[in-house]
Amino acid sequence: MLVPVAAGCAGLLFGAAGGWGVGRRRRGDGDLSRDAQTAIDAVEAQARADAAVSDVLLVLRSSAIVLDAHERAVAVSPTARALGFVRDDTLVQPDLLELTRTARRTHAIHEAELDLPRGPLGTGEITVAARAAPLGDRHLLLLLEDRTQARRVEAVRRDFVANVSHELKTPVGGIALLAEAVLDAADDPEAVARFARRIKIESTRLTRLVKEIVDLSRLQTAETPEDPQLVDIDEVVQESVDLMLTLAEGKRMSFRVSSAEDLFVYGDSSMLVTALTNLLTNAIAYSPEDTRITVVSRAVEDIVEISVTDQGRGISGEDQERVFERFYRVDAARSRATGGTGLGLAIVKHICANHGGEVTLWSQEGRGSTFTMRLPRAQSDVLSPNPLSKEHST
């Protein structure tokens, strides 16, 4: 890609000036001296060349800058200027300037991947793949591709692999140790029973972890649900609450459900139930006994909102920024005690995204938390003439 672009820009900068200049000289009317006519031709040719180069830079996917012999930016793509690489026709990044000087000095293409300050303030950085190519003796083309997102994705992938390896080692190692303990305690039926119960707990945890890893991987590779159907949100809420009743009763907790009629979205009902049960599971796990969880579904203009509010201890501002990360746990000790994998909220996030929506969080320490799934609303084929709000406690 670089060589054709460099050649094209070189042709526009230099070939145009020579060709157009000759053409005008042949059409000279004799009223001007040859030197004056040549100067006019050169100015007009340069103006046309600059305009043509600007048009080329506009269609490039990479940010692009053309520098003259005095290191002045004579052509700059909008993205290069927006990212702050050029100010007042001056290349302001020292690392980029050094790369261009090396390319100019050696008369060869040079490239590098650089971490550059995102702006004059703060600590933000942008990662770019930079290529500098001389264009003749006077000009130089600098191409810049933003690699920040790719670098971030690669870091997330590495962390994911490391986290999966770590999370799998815990139950697998526990099962192996417990199996050895069972063999050593073969003559003690009571000990064997105790160890067998622990093996069952660890195997259940391992099964859940593998299932959630597979689910998350599937969600990340699917942009939208396959064969989306019209989904009744009231049915999703009721099914999710029914699934969580036994878990809630174990902690003497109750549900308060308030759902509006005629709330529909297009998508996958089972996936939405999975997302909502994950939110309810978290609410139960992180709330004290004898408390209530409130589930509210409603329409806000063209958006369907499903909120889950608990009476737990709340989430700190620092943790709120990370709760949707894979394997992140606000309270790692409690998550392990309850069998949590740290993947539940990441799954909720991806299910909402795959349905064209999002999940938001409000929380204050000491006052509980509210997670809200926000999804695009769809109109049902048959609407009730007088939608009512249904409310009950479970």
Neighbours of 305 (CB within 10 A): 19
Residues 6+ apart with CB under 8 A from 125: 115, 116, 117, 118, 148
Across 199-205, average pLDDT: 78
What CATH number is given to the structural domain containing 53? 3.30.450.20
Q: Cβ distance 257 to 241 under 8 Å?
A: yes
CA distance 291 to 19: 83
Domain check: are 24 and 86 in the same one? yes
Give the model's pLDDT for residue 25: 39
> Are residue 367 and residue 304 in the same domain, yes or no?
yes
Q: Which residue, 180, 200, 221, sits at the end of a domain?
A: 221
Residue 316 has pLDDT above 70, yes or no: yes
Are residue 259 and residue 348 in the same domain, yes or no? yes
Report how many domains make up the chain: 3
Same domain, 81 and 18: yes
For residue 28, is pLDDT > 60? no
Question: For residues 272 and 279, what is the distance between their CA atoms, to the nearest angstrom?
Answer: 11
* pTM beyond cutoff 0.75: no
Domain boundary among 221, 252, 273: 221
Predicted pLDDT of residue 198: 83
Ramachandran angles phi, psi of 265, nearest 5°: -135, 160
- Asked whether residue 137 falls in the same domain as residue 152, the answer is no
CB distance 339 to 317 below 8 Å: no
Residue 317 CA to residue 191 CA, distance in Å, equals 45
* CATH code for position 200: 1.10.287.130
Judged by average pLDDT, the poorest of 10-24, 251-265, 294-308 is 10-24
- pLDDT above 70 covers a percentage of the chain that reads 66
Are residue 97 and residue 48 in the same domain, yes or no? yes
Tens digit of each residue's pLDDT (9 = 90 or more) over 250-298: 888 999 999 888 899 998 898 899 899 989 988 998 888 889 999 999 9
Residue scoring higher pLDDT (234 or 19): 234
For position 276, which CATH number holds? 3.30.565.10
Specify whether 244 is located in the same domain as 389: yes
User: DSSP label at 23?
Assistant: H
Same domain, 206 and 343: no
Q: Which domain holds residue 350?
A: 225-393
User: 45 and 138 in one domain?
Assistant: yes
What crossing angle do the helices spanning 269-285 and 344-354 adopt, rounded to 10°?
Answer: 150
Residue 322 has pLDDT above 80, yes or no: no
Average pLDDT over residues 377-392: 53
Last residue of a domain, one of 146, 169, 201: 146
Give the mean pLDDT of 94-107.
93
Average pLDDT estimate for 64-73: 90
pLDDT of residue 154: 74
Residues 362 and 229 in one domain: yes
β-pair partners for 132: 110, 142
pLDDT at 90 over 80: yes
| The Cα angle at residue 342 between residues 341 and 348, in degrees rounded to 5 | 110
16 has pLDDT over 50? no
Q: Are 133 and 107 contained in the same domain?
A: yes
Q: Give which of 9, 19, 72, 68 is closest to 44, Cα–Cα.
A: 19
- CA–chain centroid gap for 181, Å, is 45
C-alpha span between 171 and 181 (Å, rounded): 15
Judge if 229 and 191 occupy the same domain: no
Q: Is the pLDDT of residue 103 over 80?
A: yes
C-alpha gyration radius of the chain: 32
The model's pLDDT over 367-381, given as tens digits with 9 standing for 90+, comes to 889 999 999 998 655
> At a CB cut-off of 8 Å and minimum separation 6, what does 36 contact?
none
- For 183, other C-beta atoms within 10 Å of its C-beta total 10
Which pLDDT belongs to residue 393?
A: 58
Phi-psi region of 18 (alpha: psi -120 to 50; beta: other; left: phi over 0): alpha
Q: What are the CA-CA distances from residue 9 to residues 66, 104, 132, 137 (Å)?
A: 9, 16, 13, 13
Higher pLDDT, 240 or 54: 240
pLDDT at residue 270 in the model: 86
Provide DSSP, 56-100.
HHHH-SSEEEEE-TTSBEEEE-HHHHHTTSEETTEE--HHHHHHH
Q: Is the pLDDT of residue 143 over 80?
A: yes
Mean of the per-residue pLDDT values of the chain: 76
Tell me what pLDDT residue 41 has: 56
